[in-house]
């Protein structure tokens, strides 16, 4: 029996991923062409200008729009929760935080190619979500070689029958993937589809010698840093590059009930003191939107939360003025105003326990000294006693400790 409504878009998606070079190997092209994404995404939540809509394959009025959406190269939110701080959208509707999604197919394709699997390798996936990626892995490696874990038992319970429809019964576990899958190890590969700010030691320990971990090492400023880390021998150490792949994931959450990272709650901004100073560095010269700079600042300024250019209240002028603003999770904040004083210097206001602007300036200089590197010029080392990001060569070498937040 053919399915005229979903077979053509499924074939078109697989072909488009191959044509664009996201898929390169015959095996992965076949896996994508044989895995109907709509089976794993019976309902998706789309954000509109004033709220949210759910598209369902079971509702005739939205079926075509749903099919177009699930076979587009887009990430699809399948589960969300209200924002804990009670934030609202401009329309008044409560803001929601996505807690599970089906990853954008082109990113999934690039990651699976980068994972560098061989036939019959045993793989652990962190973040089962819809089960779509478990199906791709099961097609490529055999379901007996696939273990997948999600913190939300509802999600693994929903994923299991979808996988069965395709004839797959990989091992699905409900629990905190930060602990890996003890009792199901060792693995040749671990692929995380939820982001971490350091590499969980359990993953390193549960990897075979020669094994690899592909994970999104994420901070708040620069998320798109996928690392491919190899364990060379029996020693519990992995080392490898940040890949030039882009793409970032929702956080690996320590607590199912809390859709936020702990620091996303309102920090205590009253701690510490305020100070005013001036600087000769024009704040507008800080490349707030440059991915490489944001990545480097995230390494230099532990737990940095935000860096942006926008209006800030300037008490001496009693008005809002254009500024570059940086903040950290402990509530520290710096505002550097972009228009010069008569002295040709720029005013800086800093509050909280840390003097953030000083680090922003030092990072601006370092960024130039290092020739404005993109994230994929950095590497990562993680073992049972230390974890760090590094840059350079034997003669000129820098390192920054993890975690990033």
Q: Give me the residue label for tokens 């000294």.
A: 369
Q: Check residue 116 and give left, alpha or beta (phi > 0: left; psi -120 to 50: alpha).
A: left
In angstroms, give the least distance from the CB of 102 to ligand SAM: 4
Pick between residue 98 and residue 373 the one whose CB is nearest to ligand SAM. 98
Three-state secondary-structure class, residue 107? helix
Candidates 96-104, 113-121, 181-189, 326-334; binding stretch for ligand SAM (CB under 6 A)? 96-104
- Residue 264 sits at the vertex; the CA angle it makes with 149 and 297, to the nearest 5 degrees, is 95
Total binding residues toward ligand SAM, as defined by CB under 6 A = 25
Cα–Cα distance, 17 to 24 (Å, whole number) = 9
In angstroms, give the least distance from the CB of 158 to ligand SAM: 10
In angstroms, give the least distance from the CB of 327 to ligand SAM: 25
Does position 264 interact with ligand SAM (CB under 6 A)? The reply is no
- Beta-strand relationship, 397-401 and 333-337: unpaired
Candidates 56-64, 100-108, 112-120, 277-285; binding stretch for ligand SAM (CB under 6 A)? 100-108
Pick between residue 125 and residue 330 the one whose CB is nearest to ligand SAM. 125
* CA terminus-to-terminus distance, the chain: 52
Helix (H) or strand (E) holding 106: helix 105-115
Pick between residue 193 and residue 351 the one whose CB is nearest to ligand SAM. 193
Cα–Cα distance, 206 to 20 (Å, whole number) = 34
Kindly tell me which residue out of 43, 65, 74, 176 binds ligand SAM, with binding defined by CB under 6 A. Answer: 176
Three-state secondary-structure class, residue 154? helix
In angstroms, give the least distance from the CB of 200 to ligand SAM: 9
Helix (H) or strand (E) holding 121: none
In angstroms, give the least distance from the CB of 178 to ligand SAM: 5
Cα–Cα distance, 145 to 287 (Å, whole number) = 45
In angstroms, give the least distance from the CB of 144 to ligand SAM: 19
Does position 221 interact with ligand SAM (CB under 6 A)? The reply is no
Pick between residue 80 and residue 290 the one whose CB is nearest to ligand SAM. 80
Tokens of 241: 């590059």
In angstroms, give the least distance from the CB of 152 to ligand SAM: 4
In angstroms, give the least distance from the CB of 138 to ligand SAM: 12
Kindly tell me which residue out of 44, 112, 124, 194 binds ligand SAM, with binding defined by CB under 6 A. Answer: 194
The DSSP result for 228-266, as a single string, is EEE--SSSSEEEEEBPTT-----B--S-TT--S-GGGSP
Kindly tell me which residue out of 101, 328, 332, 350 binds ligand SAM, with binding defined by CB under 6 A. Answer: 101
In angstroms, give the least distance from the CB of 170 to ligand SAM: 12
C-alpha distance from residue 233 to each of 104, 171, 187, 205, 237 (Å): 33, 27, 14, 11, 8
Pick between residue 248 and residue 355 the one whose CB is nearest to ligand SAM. 248
Asked if residue 152 lies in contact with residue 227, where contact means CB atoms within 8 angstroms, the answer is no
Cα–Cα distance, 62 to 267 (Å, whole number) = 42
Candidates 171-179, 197-205, 272-280, 338-346; binding stretch for ligand SAM (CB under 6 A)? 171-179
For ligand SAM, the nearest residue by Cβ is 129
Q: Report the site for ligand SAM in 103-162 (rule: CB under 6 A).
A: 103, 126-127, 129-130, 132-133, 149-152, 155
Does position 252 interact with ligand SAM (CB under 6 A)? The reply is yes
C-alpha distance from residue 238 to each of 190, 207, 217 (Å): 12, 9, 14
Pick between residue 37 and residue 354 the one whose CB is nearest to ligand SAM. 37
Cα–Cα distance, 292 to 244 (Å, whole number) = 12
Pick between residue 80 and residue 176 the one whose CB is nearest to ligand SAM. 176
Name the residues that contact ligand SAM, by CB under 6 A: 99-103, 126-127, 129-130, 132-133, 149-152, 155, 176-178, 193-194, 249-250, 252-253
């Amino acid at each position: 029996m053919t399915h005229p409504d979903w077979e053509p878009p499924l074939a078109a998606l697989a072909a488009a991923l191959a044509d664009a070079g996201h898929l390169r190997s015959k095996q992965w092209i076949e896996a994508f062409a044989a895995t109907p994404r709509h089976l794993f995404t019976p309902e998706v939540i789309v954000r509109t200008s004033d709220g949210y809509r759910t598209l369902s394959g079971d509702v005739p009025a939205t079926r075509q729009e749903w099919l177009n959406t699930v076979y587009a190269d887009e990430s699809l939110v399948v589960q969300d929760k209200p924002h804990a701080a009670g934030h609202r959208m401009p329309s008044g509707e409560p803001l929601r935080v996505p807690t599970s999604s089906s990853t954008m197919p082109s990113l999934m394709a690039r990651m699976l190619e980068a994972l560098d699997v061989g036939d019959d390798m045993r793989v652990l996936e962190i973040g089962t979500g819809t089960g779509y990626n478990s199906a791709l892995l099961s097609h490529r490696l055999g379901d007996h070689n696939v273990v997948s874990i999600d913190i939300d038992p509802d999600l693994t319970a929903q994923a299991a029958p979808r996988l069965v429809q395709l004839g797959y019964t990989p091992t699905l576990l409900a629990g905190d993937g930060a602990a890996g899958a003890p009792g199901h190890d060792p693995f040749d590969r671990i692929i995380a589809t939820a982001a971490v700010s350091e590499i969980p030691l359990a993953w390193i320990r549960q990897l075979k010698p020669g094994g690899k971990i592909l994970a999104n090492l994420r901070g708040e400023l620069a998320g798109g840093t996928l690392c491919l880390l190899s364990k060379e021998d029996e020693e519990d150490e992995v080392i490898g590059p940040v890949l030039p792949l882009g793409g970032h994931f929702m956080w690996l959450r320590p607590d199912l009930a809390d859709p936020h990272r702990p620091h996303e709650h309102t920090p205590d901004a009253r701690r510490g003191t305020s100070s005013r100073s001036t600087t000769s560095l024009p704040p507008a010269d800080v490349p707030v939107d440059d991915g490489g700079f944001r990545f480097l600042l995230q390494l230099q300024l532990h737990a940095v939360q935000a860096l942006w250019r926008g209006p800030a209240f300037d008490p001496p002028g009693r008005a809002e003025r254009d500024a570059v603003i940086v903040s950290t999770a402990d509530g520290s904040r710096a505002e550097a105003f972009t228009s010069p004083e008569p002295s040709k210097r720029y005013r800086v206001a800093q509050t909280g326990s840390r003097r953030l602007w000083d680090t922003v300036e030092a990072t601006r200089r370092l960024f130039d000294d290092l020739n404005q590197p993109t994230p994929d010029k950095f590497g990562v080392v993680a073992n049972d006693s230390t974890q760090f990001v590094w840059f350079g060569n034997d003669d000129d070498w820098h390192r920054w400790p993890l975690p990033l937040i």
